Amino acid sequence: NAGVTQTPKFQVLKTGQSMTLQCAQDMNHNSMYWYRQDPGMGLRLIYYSASEGTTDKGEVPNGYNVSRLNKREFSLRLESAAPSQTSVYFCASRATGGYSPLHFGNGTRLTVT
Amino acid sequence: GQQLNQSPQSMFIQEGEDVSMNCTSSSIFNTWLWYKQEPGEGPVLLIALYKAGELTSNGRLTAQFGITRKDSFLNISASIPSDVGIYFCAGIIQGAQKLVFGQGTRLTINP
Give me the pLDDT at residue B13, please. Answer: 96
Q: What is the pLDDT of residues A45-102, one digit of tens each?
A: 999 999 999 999 999 999 999 999 899 999 999 999 999 999 999 999 998 766 788 9
- What residues of chain A lie within 8 A of the CB of B44, using their CB? 104
Interchain contact, A106 vs B104, CB within 8 Å = no
Give me the pLDDT at residue A96, please. Answer: 75
CA dihedral A58, B46, A110, B92 (to 10 degrees): 0
| Pair B73, B20: CB distance under 8 Å | yes
Look at residue A83 and give its three-state secondary structure: helix
Write down the number of H helices and E strands in chain B: 0, 11
Confidence label for A41 from pLDDT (cuts 50, 70 and 90): confident
Interchain contact, B42 vs A102, CB within 8 Å = no
Q: Is 70 exceeded by the pLDDT of residue B111?
A: yes
- What residues of chain B lie within 8 A of the CB of A45, using their CB? 98
Neighbours of B19 (CB within 10 A): 20
Give me the pLDDT at residue A101, please. Answer: 87
Confidence label for A40 from pLDDT (cuts 50, 70 and 90): confident
Give me the pLDDT at residue A48, please. Answer: 94
Average pLDDT of chain B is 93
Q: Tell me how far apart the alpha carbons of residues B20 and A84 are, in angstroms, rounded to a whole number.
A: 34
Average pLDDT over residues B14-34: 95
Q: Is 90 exceeded by the pLDDT of residue A39?
A: no
Q: What is the pLDDT of residues B40-87, one digit of tens each?
A: 899 999 999 999 999 999 999 999 999 999 999 999 999 999 999 999
Question: Which residue of A102, A103, A106, A108 to mutate against B (max B Cβ within 10 Å)?
Answer: A102
Interchain contact, B33 vs A101, CB within 8 Å = yes
Distance from CA of B8 to the nearest CA of A (A): 13
- What residues of chain B lie within 8 A of the CB of A92, using their CB? 42
Spatial CB neighbours of A97, under 8 Å, sequence gap ≥ 6: none
Give me the pLDDT at residue B42, please. Answer: 94
Give me the pLDDT at residue A98, please. Answer: 62
Interchain contact, B97 vs A92, CB within 8 Å = no
| Pair B6, B103: CB distance under 8 Å | yes
Average pLDDT over residues A22-35: 96
Give me the pLDDT at residue A97, please. Answer: 63
Interchain contact, A107 vs B41, CB within 8 Å = yes
Q: What is the pLDDT of residues A104-113, one digit of tens each?
A: 999 999 999 9
Question: Which residue of B54, B97, B101 to mutate against A (max A Cβ within 10 Å)?
Answer: B97
Q: Is 70 exceeded by the pLDDT of residue B1?
A: no
Distance from CA of A88 to the nearest CA of B (A): 9
